[in-house]
Amino acid sequence: MTNLKDFRQVFEKAQESNKKIYQICEMNEAELSELPVEEIRKKVKVNLDAMKAAIAQGLKSQEKSMSGLCGDDCAKLLKMYDKQTSLFSKTYQKVLLYSFATIEQNLRMGKIVACPTAGSCGIVPAVILAMAEDLEANEEVQINALITAGLIGQIVSNKLALAGAVAGCQSECGVAAAMASAALVEMKNGTNEQILNAAALTLKNIMGLVCDPVAGLVEVPCVKRNAFLSIYAVTGAELALAGIKSVIPIDEIVDAMKQVGELMSPTLKESSDAGLATTKTGLEITANLAQKWQNSTQK
């Protein structure tokens, strides 16, 4: 077995051997690393446990980031849910809470799993762990889901750098949402075709999302994008499980995303020189933070 290059290759290998996508991934990783599959799964469990810990810590904290811009949104949601005024079901509430809990731990410099990046770290854990609770999915199923998510990110990264500075937020939060969507379909025991359709539907409908962080921080709009795209990932899974397919194959979607990233203005790729970063309020925040940090260094 060799490095898996594209989704078509993965799908064909899985179908030929009558295996699920996660099995192809773990077998391939075992061969490349010269480790037994059991050891590969143990490594994945370490990441899964770290995700659980980040959520647990994030749910208990209201500590703001050093900038003071973010850090208490999870607490605000918890307060509202205690009053039972939510428009969402309990499952969706958990997805939102877990996404905020994780990404807020990141801005507090807590331990998170960059999945696939630190700025998009709340999406995959939120979907897998919130849904696992309501589906009563055991740890083995959760590991299968996380392996599936990892493979989606790995294959996309063969063509498209997973960095906002290279291709915008479509390659960070967008890819994370596709990973989470595919993982959820695996948890629901969907077919290999449904798994790839979930990722495809999610990816193509987030294409072109720019990276425009205010003051150059992974906070605004990054934190709230994690919450929005966690729900978005569930939508992709729901459509795929209903048999809805992406007209454009996922490999071609990744090619298109790469093209869009290349055409995207450099000012919209993590430079903070356009978009939300250069709104009146965005510029005011940047100036105020610069003054605040300058004053703190002079003390």
pLDDT in tens, 201-224: 999 999 999 999 999 999 999 999
In a domain, 285, yes or no: no
| pLDDT on residue 87 | 84
| pLDDT on residue 188 | 98
Nearest-CA neighbor of 69 among 247, 287, 285, 294?
A: 285
| pLDDT on residue 88 | 81
In a domain, 243, yes or no: yes
In a domain, 291, yes or no: no
- pLDDT of 294 > 90? The answer is no
In a domain, 145, yes or no: yes
| pLDDT on residue 2 | 61
Query: What phi and psi values does residue 251 have, to the nearest 5 degrees?
Result: -65, -40
Identify each DSSP E strand in 207-296 by its residue range.
Answer: none
Neighbours of 82 (CB within 10 A): 8
In a domain, 292, yes or no: no
Give the CATH number, domain containing residue 116. Answer: 1.10.4100
Q: Which residues span the domain enclosing 208?
A: 7-277
In a domain, 169, yes or no: yes
| pLDDT on residue 293 | 85
Indicate the pTM of the whole model. 0.97
Rg (the chain; Cα; Å): 19
In a domain, 286, yes or no: no
Letter for the amino acid at 82?
A: D
Number of structural domains found in the chain:
1
Q: Mean pLDDT in the chain?
A: 96
The residue-averaged pLDDT of 255-272 equals 98
In a domain, 128, yes or no: yes
pLDDT in tens, 12-58: 999 999 999 999 999 999 999 999 999 999 999 999 999 999 999 99
